[in-house]
Amino acid sequence: MDRIIVRGNGPLSGQIPIAGAKNACLALMPATLLSEEPLTLTNAPRLSDIRTMTDLLASLGAEVTQLQEGKVLASACHGEINPVADYDIVRKMRASNLVLGPLLARLGHAVVSLPGGCAIGARPMDIHIDALTALGAEIELKEGYLHAKVAGGRLKGAVHEMRFASVGATENFLMAAALAKGTSVLKNAAREPEIVDLADCLRAMGAQISGDGTSTIEIQGVDRLHGATHPVVADRIELGTYMLAPAICGGEVECLGGKIALVESFCEKLDAAGIHVEETRDGIKVKRRGDVVNAVDVVTEPYPGFPTDLQAQMMALLCTAEGTSVLEEKIFENRFMHAPELVRMGANIEVHGGHATVHGVKKLKGAPVMATDLRASVSLILAGLAAEGETIVNRVYHLDRGYERLVRKLKAVGADIERVSE
């Protein structure tokens, strides 16, 4: 099993290119099921989750081809479609549930296994089920599979208000409603940039959607969608992660392709912590204002609030801040599993339920640590960049799900980091 070894060696300097958003691409790929014509995605990230979604779509009858070193995905679904999303593939990744809406819209029936993914909370499917049921689907759970069908074969437009602004449920509803008969309105919809990116793609395919980026989205169903070419939006979580690298260990790094609009609430916290963030012609430039990082409090919230997927990385920064910070996790339970590993590196952290209190220390010290999920993995690497001595991060296979060529990118700005196989 691979490990990543990090040795703290001072400030960083240079440029880091930001890949296309994993979470956006994983929602865009199932849209190929909605049309017989090809869908081409440019700026696609090269990640294991993308390969998993490729395998899933192939099992359903889609043809997916990687072009230009994997950064362009061309897909088509013009043949016979298999309506069954099997457990052996779906268990590997939570986003596999995003084929449910498109299959119902295209075929009028589907059998989809309950999904897997990182162990960071229940993330129940009932919000998805409620949204699709509002459009006329009948869904029941049998032996770990969701068996879904539509009376008459075609979904019908409806008004539905979600009890929680779920990103995945919003995406499933959008794709399903795009081919439903009549007008659909989704209230309390998720507002994330990935939602806007999906809506842009669906519009390019001929869908009639308005209000994306707000809490109320309206979809006028059409009879068919056509092919399109669409660029995947930059990954705001990768962007925020690499912005934290110079914040943690000093120096100045420019994140190419980044936009402040993607991470505004995150940038506000960096500013309060004493980190200078400046948008340039090519991206975002980040550096400390002084030698000390200030303690700040963080509450994770649905977009446009502070992203839960940057909470672990932000905690790594606050471990050596001056003062005491409190982080409150309001999106997922059980998402402070990285805290005990940071404590092994000398951090002073107390966790009580959904709150973590971080008392800043002068310096972290390298230690063997274990990654528990995707974002926890990279938080430990960030901490290792500024720690004294050597940090060995075990179980780094999580990283391959969400960070494209992380070791190469950090090395390019001066980090002492390597990936080794046992």
For residues 244-275, b (16+ Cβ closer than 10 Å) or e, as one string?
A: bbbbbbbbbbbbbbbbeebbebbbebbeebbb
Are 177 and 39 contained in the same domain? yes
Residue type, 62: A
Domain boundary among 214, 231, 248: 231
Say if residue 191 is in the same domain as residue 331.
no
φ, ψ dihedrals at 238, nearest 5°: -60, -40
- Of 239, 171, 168, the residue nearest 201 (C-alpha): 171
For residue 152, give the H/E element and its range: none
- For residue 413, the one-letter residue type is V
Regarding whether 368 and 292 lie in a shared domain, the answer is yes
239 shares a domain with 225: no
Find the catalytic residue in 118, 249, 255, 267: 118
Q: Do 291 and 350 reside in the same domain of the chain? A: yes
Two tokens, residue 227: 């092919």
Instruction: Extract the tokens encoding 73.
Output: 């995905």
- Residues 281 and 197 occupy one common structural domain: no
The rounded distance, in Å, linking the Cα atoms of 405 and 70 is 13
Residue 280 backbone phi and psi in degrees, to 5? -115, 180
Residue 241 and residue 152 share a domain: no
Q: Which domain holds residue 6?
A: 2-18+234-421
Residues 272, 387, single domain; the answer is yes
Of 207, 231, 255, the position where a domain reaches its end is 231
Check: CB of residue 231 under 8 Å from CB of residue 238: no
- Residues 73 and 64: beta-carbon distance below 8 Å: yes
Instruction: Find the CATH number of the domain harbouring 10.
Output: 3.65.10.10
Per the annotation, does 139 bind a ligand?
no
Backbone angles phi, psi at 327, to 5 degrees: -110, 130
| φ, ψ at 343 (rounded to 5°) | -60, -35
249 catalytic? Reply is no
pTM summary value: 0.92
pLDDT tens for each residue of the chain, 422 residues long: 899 999 999 999 999 999 999 999 999 999 999 999 999 999 999 998 999 999 999 999 999 998 877 689 999 998 899 999 999 999 888 889 999 999 999 999 999 998 754 443 445 689 999 999 999 999 999 888 999 999 999 999 999 999 999 999 999 999 999 999 999 999 999 999 999 999 999 999 999 999 999 999 999 999 999 999 999 999 999 999 999 999 999 999 999 999 999 999 999 999 999 999 999 999 999 999 999 999 999 999 999 999 999 999 999 999 999 999 999 999 877 789 999 999 999 999 999 999 999 999 999 999 999 988 888 899 999 999 999 999 999 999 888 888 999 999 999 999 999 999 97
Sheet with 137-142, strands from edge to edge, namely 84-85, 109-113, 145-150, 137-142
DSSP characters over 73-142? EEEE--S----EE-HHHHTT-GGGGGGHHHHHHHHSEEEEEPP---SS----SHHHHHHHHHTTEEEEEE
373 is in an annotated binding site: no
Is residue 331 a known part of a binding site? yes
> Domain total for the chain?
2
Q: Are strands 159-161 and 145-150 parallel, antiparallel or unpaired?
A: unpaired
